[in-house]
Amino acid sequence: MARAWVGTSGFSYPEWKPSFYPAALPSEAFLEYYASHFTTVEIDRTFYRMPNAKTIDAWKAATPEGFRFAIKASQKITHTEKLTVPSETLAYLVRSPQASPPPWRSDTPPGSPTRSTNCCGAAASHW
């Protein structure tokens, strides 16, 4: 049977209070609360800056097993390295305890022969 993961683009939005997040919920608890309602989230910030290991570990700790992070490919990969393989940045982006990359999406520069706004990589649970 097919399975669908449902989520949004991001989770750290103070303006979602009180319509989604409880008014008194501190921002540090947003991801844990979010993950109790959704099964995946797109991480857009990776396009601009790669998270450090401490941030990734905190995200993993705040989410249940099986939760998926759909990460946006770094602009260094798509715009600077022009999707060159091998890429140290790509290797860092897809590192995973399960040795499988998380779902990912990429935006390539206008005019690129590989222009795509929703390119998904292999799926892996729990970055």
For residue 10, count other CB atoms closer than 10 A to its CB: 14
- pTM (predicted TM-score): 0.69
pLDDT digit string (tens) for 73-116?
778 777 777 777 666 766 666 654 433 445 555 566 666 655 44
Dihedral (CA of 53, 55, 58, 64) sign: negative
Instruction: Give the right CATH number for 7-105 from 3.40.50.720, 3.30.1360.70, 3.20.20.410, 3.40.50.300.
Output: 3.20.20.410
Strand residues in the chain grouped as ranges (E): 7-9, 40-43, 68-72, 104-105
Which pLDDT does position 48 carry in this prediction? 85
User: What does the domain layout of the chain look like in residue ranges?
Assistant: 7-105
